[in-house]
Structure 1
Amino acid sequence: MVEVPPMAMKFLRQRVSLRHLRLVLVLDEERSITRTAERLCISQAAVSKTRSEIEKGIGAPLFEWFGHRLEVTPVGKCILQSARRIAAELECLSDEFALMKSGMGGVLSIGTRTISGQPFLARVTAAFKKAHPAVTVQLDDTDLGSLLERLSKGSISLLYGRFDASCADAGLEAQPVMGDRIVVIASPNHPLANQRKISWTDLVKQSWVLTPEGYMGRYGRDYLAAELSRHQLPFPTNLVETQSLLLIMTLFQSGDFLTLLPEGVAAQLETRGLASVLSVAPVGPVEPVCLMWRSDTAMPPAARRFRDVALELLRADEQQRLEEEAAAVKPLRGIEARRFETVQGARKQRSGTTSAKRRRAPKEIIGELA
């Protein structure tokens, strides 16, 4: 962890202002004095002067030029972390006052990077909007790297997607929602749709719709490559590449194609007659889908309430699952108990018959056997 120089302590405790912190935050986002000045509606000279005040008071540069772009120094990163926390706290305080005065309103921005988790996200959003109709919910779907950066800077309050190593390194708290694997699905009338035994050799020869190489996350292209490598097979060459699930489903209605999707989504499409899940083992590991938020930054009231609604639905789903399992086990126990009583009764009857035979004279028993 970077330590702030000792000479900076007096400046930070006595002279630093919100004006200083806001300038540092905007400079970090824009990485340009010109754009920072335009955004803050001040002159470029004022930007340079305020920046100079901060760096002189701290005794170290916050930003350094690399070519035509400003880059944050280690000391600058330390100051930025505190500036973001302070800005978030003030934003939350403002929201709390607004909530006390006129009810919850404003805009709640949530990043989303998952397909299989969309039904749950839709349930939470619907329940939240029913309770707080004045809050505008923005669901931003883009690549995970951008969403993680936006979450760290506070431009989104929650992130809903697959939890991986990059998330763990970002100082996030996560609540698992679900987990599933990637399965192979086919067009509804595909020749392989009704086959019970399908080999990867047959699958490689088919027409596939996949995301472009290097695209983050979506339909498990990397998992497919690993699976084919395990079978010593080449990657399919009969390809259509797109990032759009809607376009994939449209292609499925127009021809015979295969693609990869999380099993939860695939099951929904199969139920609606839009696709067929093929009889081939899933590819790749089970990856958890989580609701994530910063653990070191205050959460705005709307985001906190949205998270609480999600947790309430998760608890209700878990309770329903336990009740259904108990209801299924109860009749089974009844059958097992009756079966046990029947077996015990038969054993007692055989035992009684044997004892009776033993009490009779040997001649009588010999007569029966004869």
Structure 2
Amino acid sequence: MTTDHLSDQALLLRVRPRQLLLLAALDAERHLGRAAQSMNVTQPAATKLLLQLEESLGEKLFERLARGMRPTPAGEVLIRYARRVLTDFGAVREEMGALRSGLSGALRLAAVPGAVPALLAPALLEYRRRHPQVALAVAVGTSDVVLAQLARGDVDLVLGRLTEGFSEEEFDITPLLEEAMQVVVRKGHPVFARKRLQLHELGDWSWVLQPAGSPQRGRLEAALREVGVHQRLDYIETASTTVTTALVAGSDMAALMPTSLAAHYARLGALRVAPITLPIRLPAIDVIVPRERPLSPAAQQFRALLRERA
């Protein structure tokens, strides 16, 4: 019997939780009798559940073998769905329990430097106020570094940008903040004797730049090429915001920073924004989490807070 005429909602109403539990048990046991035993039901009852599910969906889900059962391609698809439902339900129960008792445990975060002033720091302060029992750890690095940490499971959540080598299929991504880039220099830099800079003049400056392959460095070099600057820039390369700030504050070197980060250091009196408007915008900073790895209640609450504030 075909079910193509049914809506997703109508079809979902035909699927019972016990049938999803049976699918997961059959996937683990590959034998109807053992699957029934693991669910504390009789084998005839398990057989009836499976037949009803196959009839409801209009699909054969398992092949009966001489010594067990094997899922069909349609069965493999539905097993993945069943496991996801069961995993998500477990995470929901864990989160509800955590909310009743107050969140605890640990939350490991990683972010690109540009996310710190406008996104990460305010969210951390609010999160700590709401959930004082959660231990917080923060790492800062370029997007490729923090994404690698996330992929390895070293951190729970990342504030950054998807870079080459990482697929959107691996992660759940929510854009939060898009900013322009600005040139920052020390407070007494000679450039402030002038009213306006031209973009091509930046090719003669000394720079502190992020490593090759970073989005902001690539966009600066592309913008300079467009105005005829093809010579190799004079620069020191570092991914550290601390090193960048120290070098710029103690010399006539310049650096690129997102607007919020530049404003942060300007408020502290460490740096100033140079009088030039750059034709450079970076992709939005995203909150990025693994698609296939359930978030802890602590991480779920932090992501919700970021979305709320954004």
* Shorter-normalised TM range: 0.5 to 0.7
- Which residues in structure 2 correspond to 1:1-370 (within 5 Å)? 13-14=25-26, 16=28, 90=90, 93-94=93-94, 96-97=96-97, 100=100, 102-145=101-144, 147-148=146-147, 151=150, 156-162=155-161, 168-174=168-174, 176-214=175-213, 216-217=214-215, 220-294=216-290, 298-314=294-310
Mean Cα deviation higher: 126-135 or 269-278? 269-278
The DSSP-based 3-state class of the residue aligned with 1:249 is helix
* In structure 2, C-alpha distance between the alignment counterparts of 1:241 and 1:222, rounded to whole Å: 13
* In structure 2, C-alpha distance between the alignment counterparts of 1:157 and 1:85, rounded to whole Å: 21
Contact 1:85 1:298 in 2 (8 A): no
* In structure 2, C-alpha distance between the alignment counterparts of 1:121 and 1:224, rounded to whole Å: 25
The percent of aligned pairs where both chains have the same amino acid is 21
Contact 1:113 1:143 in 2 (8 A): yes
User: Is the alpha carbon distance of 1:171 and 1:208 closer, same or farther for their aligned partners in structure 2, counting shifts above 3 Å?
Assistant: closer
Contact 2:151 2:290 in 1 (8 A): yes
Gaps of 5+ in 1: 1-9, 18-55, 60-77, 315-370
* In structure 1, C-alpha distance between the alignment counterparts of 2:178 and 2:26, rounded to whole Å: 50
Contact 2:23 2:79 in 1 (8 A): no
Cα deviation, 1:35-54, whole Å, max 9, x if unaligned, reads xxxxxxxxxxxxxxxxxxxx
Gaps of 5+ in 2: 1-21, 30-67, 72-77
| Greater length-normalized contact order (CA 8 Å, ≥ 6 residues apart) | 2
User: Is the alpha carbon distance of 1:200 and 1:147 closer, same or farther for their aligned partners in structure 2, counting shifts above 3 Å?
Assistant: closer
* In structure 2, C-alpha distance between the alignment counterparts of 1:91 and 1:245, rounded to whole Å: 36
Contact 1:184 1:261 in 2 (8 A): yes
Cα deviation for residue 134 of structure 1 reads 0.9
More helix by share: 1
* In structure 2, C-alpha distance between the alignment counterparts of 1:224 and 1:84, rounded to whole Å: 43
1:16 is matched by which residue type in structure 2?
Answer: A
Scaled by the length of structure 2, the TM-score of the pair is: 0.64
Quote the RMSD (CA, aligned, Å): 4.0
Scaled by the length of structure 1, the TM-score of the pair is: 0.55
Considering only CA atoms, is the larger Rg found in Structure 1 or Structure 2?
A: 1
Aligned twin of 1:331: none
